[in-house]
Amino acid sequence: MPQRAATDGWTTCALGHRHWGLAGAAGLLLHRPAPDGVEVLLQLRVEWSHHGGTWGTPGGALHPAEAAADGALREAGEELGLTRDDVILGAESIDDHGGWSYTTVLAAPSGLLDAGELALNPESIAAGWFPLSALADVPLHPGFAASLLTLAPLLT
């Protein structure tokens, strides 16, 4: 199990949501060109986790003084077995709820990234590449779904 961090804990943002992570959270949004547009790498979270049973970006609460990109990479490493060498970091998009924010760190795979060969941890049931144009039919994590309109233009 990951070590407990000083920033672990629930907080309520200015929008009235409950969020895990006192210093905010970050996730890694991997994207790559596909024949019919752009594909994104999503992870299916186990049922017992917060918003379990939905697809979203690998990610989680930031540790004290941790940069968003470092936190996103750490979480993607824990959840999907990704390493820093597997990705080329891109822009960051901050979804600020007031008192809590989620930073999506965009990244491209540095090579062929086969979702079926990722080393998933117990928090992850599956991982896969999804065409951006097909996400309307996928049960998405509500936070990720809400940020898609902002994120989509950054992926092209």
Sign of CA dihedral 7, 118, 41, 111: positive
Q: Is residue 75 classed exposed, middle or buried when 0-12, 13-18 and 19+ CB atoms within 10 A define those classes?
A: buried
Cα three-residue angle 115-126-10, rounded to 5 degrees: 120
Q: How far is CA 138 from the centre of its chain?
A: 16
Nearer to Zn ion, 6 or 10 (CB): 10
User: What is the closest distance, in whole angstroms, from the C-beta atom of residue 80 to Zn ion in the complex?
Assistant: 24
Nearer to Zn ion, 71 or 143 (CB): 143
Nearer to Zn ion, 25 or 82 (CB): 25
User: What is the closest distance, in whole angstroms, from the C-beta atom of residue 24 to Zn ion in the complex?
Assistant: 10
**β strands within 10-83, DSSP E:** 10-12, 18-20, 25-34, 37-45, 55-56, 59-61
User: What is the closest distance, in whole angstroms, from the C-beta atom of residue 14 to Zn ion in the complex?
Assistant: 7
User: What is the closest distance, in whole angstroms, from the C-beta atom of residue 93 to Zn ion in the complex?
Assistant: 15
User: What is the closest distance, in whole angstroms, from the C-beta atom of residue 47 to Zn ion in the complex?
Assistant: 22
Q: Which two tokens stand for residue 37?
A: 């547009």
Please give the residue ranges that form the binding site for Zn ion (CB under 5 A): 13, 15, 17, 97
C-alpha atoms less than 13 angstroms from C-alpha of 104 in its C-beta half-sphere: 24
Nearer to Zn ion, 55 or 102 (CB): 102
Nearer to Zn ion, 13 or 154 (CB): 13
